[in-house]
Structure 1
Amino acid sequence: MSEEEKAEITKIGVVGAGAWGTALAQQSANAGCDVTLWAREDEVVTSINERHENELFLQGVPLAKQIKATNDLAAMGSMDFIFMVVPAQFVRNVLSDLKQYISENAVIVLCAKGIEQSTGKLMTEVVAEILPKSPLVVLSGPTFAHEVAKGLPSAVTVASKYQRVARRLSDAIGLPTFRPYASRDVVGAEIGGALKNVFAIACGITTGRKMGENARAALITRSLSEMVRFGERYGAERATMMGLCGLGDLILTCSSPQSRNMSLGIAIGEGKTGEEIMSGRRTVAEGFHTSSILAKICKDEELDLPIIMAVNAILHEGKDIDTAIMDLLNRPFVDEIENKN
């Protein structure tokens, strides 16, 4: 490799070494980028650097040897792109710690899917508060970490108001088996990723209650309607909700127990409580936290999103599951497509 080619190598820092962060590090390394992966846990750093595997969060997937793991945030200081892949409720604190090390030219790639529980703010709003001058990209779409890390075909939305930045990122990490599609609708890309987690819990509950495939298909479709309604409140484009980061992610997350949120819902549907399930997990089901703040936003904004309200009532208000289901089924019959005239 020539010195000129070396100079052109994109430096990518991934903050958060859970399954998805590790998969994105693997994808970036396979695309030829120089990758540094930050992990909070010392055992994860050791596992990746010495055995080239994240034995804690992505067991059984051999990782590219050029991935360097660290628990020092200062290592992010020279990166071209910084992927934020920590759980949504930790984004603010980690970004605040990271701020002192990075330049204003570093592009923040937001990969966390959720809404801040304490403030009701979107992750893009949190990033803008802490790093107001940093270019921002939202990366979201229908992706299971194990499949991306193994190089199975996937596609994602890469959204930014700076299309040049979005395309530079796509060129850096894209491969035939990992296809980034550019978008300008940053808010829409984020909302799709946040809300689908709550709907996946709902689908899991119906699966755990053995309500059948018809019920799940209807629930996914009505969930999309709620996603569009919520997104339009924030200025998101309807077309974005129909794309990879909306409908695509919704279908994937609501259709397989591989989804942490759906598997949480299945366990709840089978009779376990949300608290006991969450306490026994090392990984985070973002929808558990997002549901409560979404319900508050719906009340404050007078948004009619009954599926979200039902999930919150089951998870956080102690409502009986069968009562919540019957309340949904007994809602008045209405037109499928809302008439805005």
Structure 2
Amino acid sequence: MEGNKDICSNVSIKPFGILKDGKEVFLYRLSNENGVQLEVINYGGIIKSLFVPDARGKFSDIVLGYNRLADYEKDPAHFGAVVGRYGNRIAGGEFVLDNKKYSLALNNQPGGKACHLHGGERGFDKIVWDAEPIIHDNAAGLRLHYLSRDGEEGYPGNLDVNINYLLTNENTLRIEYQGETDQATPINLTQHSYFNLKGEGEGDILGHFAYINADNYTPVDEGLIPTGEIAGVSDTPFDFRKTKKIVEDINQADQQLEYGGGYDHNYVLNGESGELTIAAQVYDEESRRQLEVWTTEPGMQFYTGNALDGSLVGKKGKAYQKNSGFCLETQHYPDSPNQDNFPDTILRPGEKYQTITEFRFSIR
């Protein structure tokens, strides 16, 4: 395919590059009537760019990422990607399901303790998805499809996954996750975009104001695996029930913050799981851009880009230093297959996996 191809007035497609294995990857640009633009590549379902206006009407790209496909192929940070089958960590890369033990790749080692992270060595962030534009009256969209075969990355069952990205005229990015399986399997899909409401490459996010709708969170051990405890946020640095700057408590002497190098923790969201409920609100005082996250999921990982160290260079040619972006990964809790008191993440034949997350953008 040569050049741009307009599917309709608000969806276009163009080549983005060739992977090392020879597969071609395409970039899909979705736009709404307000000028907001979302760019997605079908490698990893990656959100490459998201242009939204500030209070003066200036559009900026507010997600971290790269200009070249080759950088995404070797990316260790999961910039903008769909992660699965199981987003977040599984302790020791093992779980028992229906009296059978399964062993997964050990591809992460925080605190010197090996674990399985974000689906393994070749998770959903490293595969080419089938992509098809979808058009609604009030939204431009893209449907991604992938059949994860039985045994892939050690997981049981053929898992059939569809993900819809919908950019509405209300400046909302709605993500619909759907899955079915022919064998019982864990599933925990999420979106791993790093946001900076000042603009990609425009410094750190520590001055952003954040609110998180959660009375509790799940503390972790030195390997960032939940201990199983559901702990209250009261009188801890993890209390964002009243809006505060991210920097306000991030440097407190606190063992949990030391384990994560900052915030890298799952919040137990208030509200009824399965109902679309506000999870978080973040805004930048200078640009007055505001992001609200609404979800049907019971949890959300708040991550402040603690592992970024200047070795990754972004779209503006600027190195991403620590805290250059934040993630709000809606999810079930980490290590749920090994934690009986956490909400169940096992999908069985005949059941349908369905979750929704919305990223709502506005001017404060």
Range class of TM-score, shorter chain: under 0.3
The structure in which a higher percent of residues are helix is: 1
* TM-score normalised to structure 2 length: 0.27
Of structures 1 and 2, the one scoring higher in RCO (CA 8 A, sep 6+) is 2
The structure in which a higher percent of residues are strand is: 2
* TM-score normalised to structure 1 length: 0.28
